[in-house]
A and B are shown apart, each in its own frame.
Chain A
Amino acid sequence: EVQLQQSGAELVKPGASVKLSCKTSGYTFSNYYMSWLKQMPGQNIEWIGNIYGGNGGTGYNQKFKGKATLTVDKSSSTAYMDLSSLTSEDSAVYFCAMGSDWFAYWGQGTLVTVSS
């Protein structure tokens, strides 16, 4: 069974950074892409970017370049997303989702709240 387990909720101060994780199981991590997505309360879903588990190759939505950095650790089948220089506009639920086109498997989401 494919599972994506995301790290817990984060409360961070403006200007700080945060690193979210997505630990996977049930499939061959290095054979698939992992995407990260953002959903602000009651709002649309935005695709941040993706990373290939095999070689760490990345693709980013231009809107999130400089804001998000995607990495993987193949040894632990875990994907990571660093978010930097956080502002209130970064307060949202962030999802990891497996797949190169459509997303059949999603993590449960991580709530990031940016507040002083």
Chain B
Amino acid sequence: DIQMTQSPASLSASLGETVTIECRASEDIYNGLAWYQQKPGKSPQLLIYNANSLHTGVPSRFSGSGSGTQYSLKINSLQSEDVASYFCQQYYDYPYTFGAGTKLELK
């Protein structure tokens, strides 16, 4: 199975700040990567697919980048509604696997 190592596990940032979350795959996943946002008690919501494609309706302050084994999610100008957990998911190979998540809080 492809292992997804996500960092940091938790992150505290101020409103308006730019934050970056990283995800490293145990092998090349050829941009087969998605990012999700999950708020407590809710189901995950798709943000990014194909490593850098913004899902419909997602604010443009979210962006994804990377290639090979290293990927990142950037949130520009952090808003209060961005407080959530974030997960990466690889779909290059079965079984699909997720990172352990990053919990984003306001400073």
Contacts and interface: CB of A to CB of B under 8 A. Distances in A.
A58 B50 CA distance: 24
B44 A103 contact: yes
Interface in A54-104: 59, 61-63, 95, 97, 101-104
B78 interface: no
**Which secondary structure characterizes the binding site on chain B?**
loop
Contact of B46 (A46, A95, A104): A104
Contacts of B96: 35, 47, 61
A101 B49 contact: yes
A101 B32 contact: yes
A63 B94 CA distance: 12
Contact of B34 (A103, A106, A109): A103
Interface of A: 35, 43-47, 59, 61-63, 95, 97, 101-104, 106-109
